[in-house]
Chain A
Amino acid sequence: MKTDHLIHALTKDLPDGPQTEGRLSAARLVAALLLSGLFVTAMILFFLAPSPHLAHGPNLTTAVTLMAALALTICAFRLSLLMQRPDARIRLGILAWPILLLLVGVAIELTLHPASTWTGRLIGENPLGCFLLVSGLSVPILIAALGVLRQGAPVEPGLQGAMAGLLSGGVTSMLYVLHCPEPSLLYIAAWHVPAVLVVSFIGAKLGGRWLRW
């Protein structure tokens, strides 16, 4: 086919009025996260025991976990949307905020508790279960996010996928506070963070395949 012919066909494919398609990718991404997040919340509430800490109001661990997860979610959300544009300049620096928050929380915890308890806090009771649950529960959210992000034009599909992984990991980490029985930020840093990174890696692999355009 000649290029001029292709151009002719393309101009015929304009909608009559102003186009609305694809405009609201922020709203769509929020909707996808809410729906899949609701699904994951239902899974947690139905199949997992509620966290024993919820009854006593927020403690240091849940508060810092929530804050760091929220910060991660916001940063990854912003970056994910930015990457949808091929001409965007991506600065990954803001991802330092959630890490910083968590590290400050860990530092506070370490000063509050004697060193003899640190190992117990680090290992917790079921670290592998936590790791697998957080990464597993993130997958539906990751899939939903990738479904929306397919509309975009990321010049680095793998990176876009990794960012979607961080985003879904952040959302899951917020929801997982509903269940997590461990009282320690040291534990969160040691087991949740790798889980989020694994999800990000899965996202990068999937993104490299699904987000090409």
Chain B
Amino acid sequence: MRSANRGDADAYARLLSDVARVLRRVIASDSVRLNLGSSDVEDVLQDALLAIHLKRHTWDEARPIVPWLRAIAHYKVLDHARRSRRRVTVPVESVAEIIPTPQPEPGLPASTGRFLEMLPRRQREVVEALALDGASIREAAQRLKMSEGAVRVALHRGLAALAAKFGGSE
């Protein structure tokens, strides 16, 4: 994370993948305790990753990062649990069915896909190009006929808007 704060994207990518792998397990076990469905796990994980990214300035570099990561994941699990309690749920699954089997990366599309469609067109195109097609900033800029700066701005706003959609979703 320190390297990421200096702008090292490779180190950041490694960190986020490692974090995602660990947090998926943590969130899965939390979700069982809170009676969340296993399909929610990937949602919470993506929400947590967005928060880790957008709130990374709240980590004090002098302190260990694990408690900070755990605190964010925990907050997000509780947040989703709070919201899903308000939503009308039909509890058809038995506890045994809910217990998630740890998967490397479930192929299920999480809510981000649905939220993505709610973004303004430019932001959606940029996030899609970078996330789904794996383009670089420069490729995306060429393809969408935007300046690289505009792509960066649209990406940042798009990610922030995605995070907000998670926060407001019922």
Seen from chain A, the residues whose Cβ lies within 8 Å of a Cβ on chain B are 1-19, 21-23, 25, 84-87, 151-153, 155, 212-213
Q: Given A22-B58, A152-B55, are A9 and B127 also a contact pair (CB < 8 Å)?
A: yes
The 5 A-B pairs of least Cβ separation, nearest first, read A22-B57, A86-B71, A9-B131, A1-B112, A153-B55
Number of A-B contacts (CB under 8 A): 120
Secondary structure dominating the interface of A = loop
CB distance from B169 to the nearest CB of A (A): 12
Chain B hits for A9, CB < 8 A? 127, 130-131, 155, 159
11 contacting pairs across A/B (C-beta < 8 A): A1-B46, A2-B110, A6-B112, A7-B17, A9-B159, A12-B130, A12-B137, A19-B56, A86-B72, A151-B57, A213-B54
Seen from chain B, the residues whose Cβ lies within 8 Å of a Cβ on chain A are 4-10, 12-13, 16-17, 20, 42, 45-46, 49-51, 53-60, 63, 67-68, 70-72, 74-75, 79, 105, 107, 109-110, 112-113, 116, 127, 130-132, 134, 136-137, 152, 155-156, 159, 163, 167
Which of B4, B45, B112 lies in contact with A14, CB distance below 8 A? B4
Q: Cβ of A10 and Cβ of B109 under 8 Å apart? A: no
Which of B20, B46, B53, B58 lies in contact with A86, CB distance below 8 A? B58
CB distance from B27 to the nearest CB of A (A): 11
Q: Cβ of A1 and Cβ of B113 under 8 Å apart? A: yes
Q: Cβ of B132 and Cβ of A5 under 8 Å apart? A: yes
Which of A14, A84, A155 lies in contact with B75, CB distance below 8 A? A155
Chain B hits for A151, CB < 8 A? 57
Q: Cβ of B46 and Cβ of A3 under 8 Å apart? A: yes
B23: nearest residue on chain A (CB-CB)? A3
CB distance from B68 to the nearest CB of A (A): 4
Chain B hits for A84, CB < 8 A? 58
Q: Cβ of A13 and Cβ of B13 under 8 Å apart? A: no
